[in-house]
C-alpha cells in the first residue's frame, strides 16, 4: 500500500520569551531578552498508508494539534522529515493544497463569514477548481448526507457551532481531498451531533478511501472511527498501533463485574483485586490471561446471578497513563 504520509524524526521547538519577576529583572530583560525553548514535538516518526483512518490521542498540550499543523503546512518544523502525498507541506504548493483539507473543531469554516453557505460552496469551487459536473454531484450528495438544506441560504456567521461543523466538513469534502485532517471535530457538539458526525466520517472514509487523520481527546471519536491509534504525550510518540492492542498494552487486565444471588461472605482477593464494591455487585480486576480461568471458578463456586467481563474503559486507562507519565 502506498504511504501517503511519512514523518521521520520530527521536531518542533519554539522560543518563548521568559518574562521575569521583579522590576530589576524586567529592566534587564529590555536589553537582554532570555528565551526558553519549548519542545512541542520531539523525535516523532510514523507512516500512514492510503485509506487509513488514524486517531491521534493525547492530553491537552501534548502536541497533537501541532503535529497536524505541521502535516498541513501551517507550521514549519524545526527539524526532521515530513512528506505528505510526496510533498513538503511547508512549501504549500498548489498541487499539495488542493489534495488536503483541514477542519478544526474550534473554527470549522475558514472563509469570510458574511457569505451564505451556498456562496461558500461556490467560493470553494472556484478556489479549488472543481469541475462543474463534479461540483453538482458533490454538493447534492453532501447536502443530503449532512442535512444542509435548511442552512444553504444562511450566513455562516449566523450558524451554531454544530451547524458550522457540518457545513465546514461539507466545504472541505467538496473537492474530494485525498487526505483529511480533522482537529477535535466533535469539540462543543452535543451527543447527537457528535454521533452523527462520526457516522458520517466513517461512511465517507469507507466509501471514498480517503486517508483521515483525526485528533481528539474524546475516546468515543477514536473508538468509533479509528483502528489505528497514535498516542502522543509531551510531544513524543508513546504508542502507535491498533486500538485493541492499546488497551492490552497499557492495561493488561480485565474487569469482572459480578452480582450474587445472596450476600455470601466471600474473600474476593482469592479471585482478583477489588476495584469497586457497591451493595449488590462487585467489580474485580483480573489479569487478562487469568480472566477465563477466574470466570470459570466464580461461576462454579459462587451463586452468580450476573457476570460481565469487560475491557477497562480506555479513558481510565489513558488517564492513569497520562498521570503516570506526568510524574
Query: Which positions lie near another protein, rule CB under 8 A?
Result: 14-15, 38, 40, 66, 69, 72-76, 78, 90, 92, 94, 97-98, 100-102, 104, 106-107, 109-112, 114-116, 119, 122-123, 126-129, 155
Residue 288 CB, nearest approach to another protein (Å):
39
Whether the Cβ atoms of residue 288 and residue 253 lie closer than 8 Å to each other = yes
Closest to another protein by CB, 55 vs 77, is 77
Phi, psi for 233 (deg, rounded to 5): -145, 130
Residue 106 CB, nearest approach to another protein (Å):
8
**CA–CA gap between residue 96 and residue 63 (Å, rounded):** 23
Block residue for cell numbers 498540550: 61
Closest to another protein by CB, 107 vs 136, is 107
Packing angle, helices 117-128 and 161-173, rounded to 10: 30
Closest to another protein by CB, 233 vs 247, is 233
Closest to another protein by CB, 109 vs 159, is 109
Residue 282 CB, nearest approach to another protein (Å):
46
Q: Cα–Cα distances in Å, from 1 out to 129, 243, 256?
A: 28, 20, 40
Residue 290 CB, nearest approach to another protein (Å):
46
Strand-pairing partners, residue 233, are: 236
Residue 126 CB, nearest approach to another protein (Å):
5
Whether the Cβ atoms of residue 67 and residue 42 lie closer than 8 Å to each other = no
Q: Give the CA dihedral 174, 175, 180, 186, nearest 10 degrees.
A: -10
Closest to another protein by CB, 39 vs 259, is 39
Amino acid at each position: 500500500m502506498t504511504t501517503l504520509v511519512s514523518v521521520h524524526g520530527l521536531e518542533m521547538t519554539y522560543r518563548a520569551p521568559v518574562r521575569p519577576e521583579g522590576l530589576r529583572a524586567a529592566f534587564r530583560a529590555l536589553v537582554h531578552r532570555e528565551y526558553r525553548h519549548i519542545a512541542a514535538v520531539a523525535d516523532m516518526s510514523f507512516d500512514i498508508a492510503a485509506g487509513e483512518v488514524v486517531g491521534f490521542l493525547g492530553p491537552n498540550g501534548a502536541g497533537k494539534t501541532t503535529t497536524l499543523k505541521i502535516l498541513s503546512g501551517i507550521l514549519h518544523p524545526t527539524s526532521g522529515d515530513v512528506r505528505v502525498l510526496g510533498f513538503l507541506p511547508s512549501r504549500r504548493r498548489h498541487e499539495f493544497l488542493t489534495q488536503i483539507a483541514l477542519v478544526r473543531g474550534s473554527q470549522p469554516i475558514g472563509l469570510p463569514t458574511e457569505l451564505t453557505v451556498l456562496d461558500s460552496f461556490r467560493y470553494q469551487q472556484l478556489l479549488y477548481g472543481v469541475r462543474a459536473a463534479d461540483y453538482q454531484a458533490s454538493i447534492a450528495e453532501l447536502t443530503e448526507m449532512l442535512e444542509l438544506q435548511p442552512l444553504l441560504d444562511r450566513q455562516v456567521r449566523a450558524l451554531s457551532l454544530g451547524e458550522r461543523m457540518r457545513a465546514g466538513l461539507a466545504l472541505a469534502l467538496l473537492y474530494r481531498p485525498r487526505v483529511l485532517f480533522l482537529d477535535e471535530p466533535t469539540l462543543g457538539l452535543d451527543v447527537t451531533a457528535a454521533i452523527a458526525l462520526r457516522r458520517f466520517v466513517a461512511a465517507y472514509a469507507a466509501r471514498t478511501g480517503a486517508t483521515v487523520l483525526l485528533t481528539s481527546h474524546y475516546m468515543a471519536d477514536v473508538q468509533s472511527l479509528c483502528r489505528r491509534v497514535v498516542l502522543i504525550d509531551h510531544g513524543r510518540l508513546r504508542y502507535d498501533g491498533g486500538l485493541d492492542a492499546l488497551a492490552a498494552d497499557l492495561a493488561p487486565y480485565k474487569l469482572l463485574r459480578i452480582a450474587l444471588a445472596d450476600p455470601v461472605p466471600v474473600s474476593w482477593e482469592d479471585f482478583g483485586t477489588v476495584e469497586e464494591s457497591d451493595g449488590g455487585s462487585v467489580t474485580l480486576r483480573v489479569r487478562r490471561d487469568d480472566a477465563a480461568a477466574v470466570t470459570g471458578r466464580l461461576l462454579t463456586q459462587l451463586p452468580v446471578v450476573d457476570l460481565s467481563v469487560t475491557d477497562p474503559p480506555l479513558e481510565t486507562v489513558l488517564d492513569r497513563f497520562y498521570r503516570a507519565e506526568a510524574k
